[in-house]
């Protein structure tokens, strides 16, 4: 089984994150950049599939030069190799453009299963898995909390607010996962040492047959017009309980349309 895991480098969600004042993009220079948390679950799931069914796991990343740190970190968990789409013209690419580039890269690799996180901690759009499936004309099994494979049949439990739905599809398919699906492994010392020896193929837009106008700032169909800091939290409303505190709480919740 040929598995590709999409890995995105994002600013650490545990630290303060900012948008750049000049072009409204995520400021990656000051931030501690890490693997998007949900992607680690996708890597773990891929490795488990590989352990159970054999095959090969490849990391696919689109990102600037320093995304290679995240590729190496991902490889230290155990995957066999990586593809890094790296091109200056990619700066400013929106989700549609990203899906165009990744779809082109996936067509080259031709995997049975594409695994990815259900969302990224910086953009949080949750759209990429669907866009990819659409562009590739394959099934999208999104939001999985469990994945089982029998032959070429994939079954997921899609996590919903009330419970879960069982969704099945045949390979090839895109599967996006939530952090409920497994517990990602820590890189072993051998994994860390092996990571630098694993093959990382670097591809440009030209290699993928995607023109620069289709991506980057020029190709973006969406844009951020402006941004401002989240306003400081206003002081809450204190409810003193002198017998009817419960009533006041419910009134508050009703007014705020929580109930």
Partner 1 sequence: MNFVESTEQLELRKAVAAMAQGFGKDYFRTEAREGRSGREIWLEAGRLGYLGVNLPEKFGGGGAGIYELALVLEELAASGCPLLMMVVSPAICGTIISRFGTEEQKEQWLPGIADGSKIMAFAITEPDAGSNAHQITTTAHPAPDGGWLLSGRKVFISGVDHADAVMVVGRTSSAEGYLRPALFIVPTADIEYQPIAMELVSTEKQFMVFLDEVALPASAIVGGADADLQQLFAGLNPERIMAAAFSVGLGRYALARAAAYMKERSVWGTPIGAHQGLAHPLAQAAIEIELAKLMMQKAACLYDSGDDRAAGEAANMAKYAAAEAAVRAVDQAVHSLGGNGMTVEYGLAHLVNVARVSRVAPVSREMILNFVAQQKLGLPKSY
Query: Which residue from 54, 151, 163, 189 is in contact with partner 1, where contact means CB under 8 A?
Result: 189
d(CA 43, CA 116): 8
Query: Which residue from 192, 200, 212, 249 is in contact with partner 1, where contact means CB under 8 A?
Result: 192
The one segment of 3-11, 42-50, 125-133, 184-192 that binds partner 1 by CB under 8 A:
184-192
What would the x/- binding string for partner 1 be over residues 194 to 213, using CB under 8 A? -xx-----------------
Interface size with partner 1, residues (CB under 8 A): 12
The one segment of 46-54, 129-137, 180-188, 224-232 that binds partner 1 by CB under 8 A:
180-188
User: Would the CA dihedral through 101, 195, 72, 45 be positive or negative?
Assistant: positive
Tell me the C-alpha to C-alpha distance, in Å, between residue 52 and each of 39, 46, 170, 185. Answer: 20, 10, 18, 16
Beta strand pairing call for 113-117 and 33-35: unpaired
d(CA 28, CA 33): 7
Q: Which is nearer to partner 1, 18 or 188 (CB)?
A: 188
Nearest approach in angstroms of CB 196 to partner 1 is 7
d(CA 110, CA 56): 12
Query: Which residue from 13, 153, 188, 255 is in contact with partner 1, where contact means CB under 8 A?
Result: 188
The one segment of 111-119, 169-177, 186-194, 215-223 that binds partner 1 by CB under 8 A:
186-194
- Whether the CB-CB separation of 196 and 217 falls below 8 Å is answered with no
Tell me the C-alpha to C-alpha distance, in Å, between residue 94 and each of 83, 112, 129, 214. Answer: 20, 26, 14, 10
Nearest approach in angstroms of CB 33 to partner 1 is 13
Q: Which is nearer to partner 1, 65 or 134 (CB)?
A: 65
Helices within the chain (DSSP H only):
37-53, 67-76, 95-109, 128-136, 189-195, 205-208, 216-219, 245-255
Nearest approach in angstroms of CB 20 to partner 1 is 27
Residues 48-107 close enough to bind partner 1 by CB under 8 A: 72-73, 76
Render 16-59 in DSSP notation, one character per residue.
---B-TTT-SB--SSS-EEE-HHHHHHHHHHHHHHHHH--EEEE
20 binds partner 1 (CB under 8 A): no
Query: Which residue from 166, 193, 247, 250 is in contact with partner 1, where contact means CB under 8 A?
Result: 193
- What residues line the site for partner 1 (CB under 8 A)? 72-73, 76, 186-190, 192-193, 195-196
């Amino acid at each position: 089984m040929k598995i590709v895991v999409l890995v995105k480098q994002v600013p650490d969600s545990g630290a303060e994150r900012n948008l750049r004042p000049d072009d409204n993009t995520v400021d990656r220079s000051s931030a501690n950049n890490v693997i998007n948390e949900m992607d680690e679950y996708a890597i773990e799931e891929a490795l488990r599939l590989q352990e159970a069914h054999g095959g090969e796991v490849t990391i696919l990343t689109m990102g600037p030069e320093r995304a290679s740190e995240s590729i190496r970190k991902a490889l230290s968990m155990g995957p066999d190799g990586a593809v890094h789409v790296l091109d200056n013209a990619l700066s400013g690419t929106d989700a549609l453009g990203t899906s165009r580039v990744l779809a082109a890269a996936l067509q080259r690799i031709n995997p049975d299963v594409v695994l990815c996180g259900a969302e990224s901690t910086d953009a949080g759009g949750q759209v990429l898995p669907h866009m990819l499936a659409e562009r590739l004309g394959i099934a999208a099994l999104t939001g999985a909390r469990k994945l089982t494979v029998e032959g070429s049949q994939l079954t997921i439990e899609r996590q919903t607010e009330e419970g879960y739905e069982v969704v099945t599809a045949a390979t090839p398919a895109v599967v996006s996962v939530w952090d409920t699906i497994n517990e990602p492994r820590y890189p072993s010392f051998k994994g860390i040492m092996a990571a630098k020896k694993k093959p990382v193929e670097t591809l440009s837009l030209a290699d993928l047959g995607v023109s620069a106008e289709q991506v980057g700032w020029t190709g973006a169909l969406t844009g951020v017009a402006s941004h401002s800091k989240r306003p400081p939290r206003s002081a809450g409303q204190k409810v003193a309980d002198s017998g009817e505190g419960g009533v006041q709480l419910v009134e508050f919740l009703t007014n705020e349309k929580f109930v």
